[in-house]
């Protein structure tokens, strides 16, 4: 029975995320999920600890919920950066010529698209023809650098 509560909480988080995506505010999709997922996770944490104490039985639903949320965020962000999905979104708006699609995905277009996403997500700013890291971008870079060092990956 312990499995039902984290599954229900995750299902509710996904449902609320879908609703949150329809609200016209300038918050990216991952943060919108966190805004609904973290309070649900906190509620699940409190409920599990109060009813089961600090035991492995209490940790199991919390870890399952955290795993499902992480998997959802990973898949969601993977889809956001997918060229194929972006192409499908463009085609959903109506027919488009081959030349228009290929011009979107030439190397310069890909760089432009990535830069627009980084600006929208608040990781970089644009000043004229120059780009600069924001405080959030610098924090993200430091986090990645720390992870690279801890996993002994070489920077490319």
Domain assignment of residue 156, yes or no = no
Query: What pLDDT was estimated at residue 50?
Result: 94
73 and 105, same domain (yes or no): no
Average the pLDDT over 14-30 and give the result: 88
11 and 70, same domain (yes or no): yes
Identify the domain containing residue 127 by its residue range: 93-150
119 and 52, same domain (yes or no): no
User: How many domains would you assign to the chain?
Assistant: 2
> What is the total residue count of the chain?
156
Q: How many CA atoms lie within 13 A of 19 on its CB side?
A: 9
What is the percentage of the chain residues whose pLDDT exceeds 70? 96
75 and 101, same domain (yes or no): no
Domain assignment of residue 155, yes or no = no
Q: Look at the pTM and tell me if it is higher than 0.75.
A: no
Indicate the pairing of strand 124-127 with strand 130-133. Answer: antiparallel
108 and 59, same domain (yes or no): no
35 and 14, same domain (yes or no): yes
66 and 110, same domain (yes or no): no
Instruction: Give 155's pLDDT tier (boundaries 50, 70, 90).
Output: low
Chain Cα centroid distance, residue 34: 9
Q: Between these two residues, 35 and 79, which has the higher pLDDT value? A: 35
Average the pLDDT over 39-59 and give the result: 93
Task: For residue 152, count other CB atoms closer than 10 A to its CB.
Answer: 6
Domain assignment of residue 85, yes or no = no
107 and 135, same domain (yes or no): yes
Query: What pLDDT was estimated at residue 146?
Result: 86
Instruction: Give 15's pLDDT tier (boundaries 50, 70, 90).
Output: very high
75 and 16, same domain (yes or no): yes
Instruction: Give 156's pLDDT tier (boundaries 50, 70, 90).
Output: low
The C-alpha atoms of residue 147 and residue 145 are separated, in whole angstroms, by: 5
61 and 100, same domain (yes or no): no
Task: Answer with the one of 23, 50, 80 that is the final residue of a domain.
Answer: 80
Q: What's the N-to-C CA distance of the chain in angstroms? A: 47
Task: For residue 123, count other CB atoms closer than 10 A to its CB.
Answer: 20
Domain assignment of residue 86, yes or no = no
Q: Between these two residues, 113 and 71, which has the higher pLDDT value? A: 71
Query: What pLDDT was estimated at residue 126?
Result: 93
């Amino acid at each position: 029975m312990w499995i039902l509560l984290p599954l229900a909480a995750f299902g509710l988080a996904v449902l609320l995320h879908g609703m949150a995506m329809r609200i016209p505010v300038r918050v990216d999709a991952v943060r919108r999920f966190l805004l609904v997922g973290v309070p649900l996770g906190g509620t699940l944490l409190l409920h599990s600890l109060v009813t089961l104490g600090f035991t492995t039985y209490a940790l199991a639903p919390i870890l399952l919920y955290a795993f499902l949320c992480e998997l959802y965020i990973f898949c969601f962000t993977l889809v956001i950066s997918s060229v194929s999905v972006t192409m499908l979104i463009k085609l959903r708006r109506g027919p488009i010529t081959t030349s228009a699609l290929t011009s979107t995905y030439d190397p310069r277009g890909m760089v432009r698209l990535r830069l627009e996403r980084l600006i929208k997500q608040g990781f970089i700013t644009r000043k004229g023809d120059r780009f600069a890291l924001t405080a959030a971008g610098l924090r993200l870079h430091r986090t990645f650098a720390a992870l690279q060092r801890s996993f002994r990956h070489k920077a490319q």
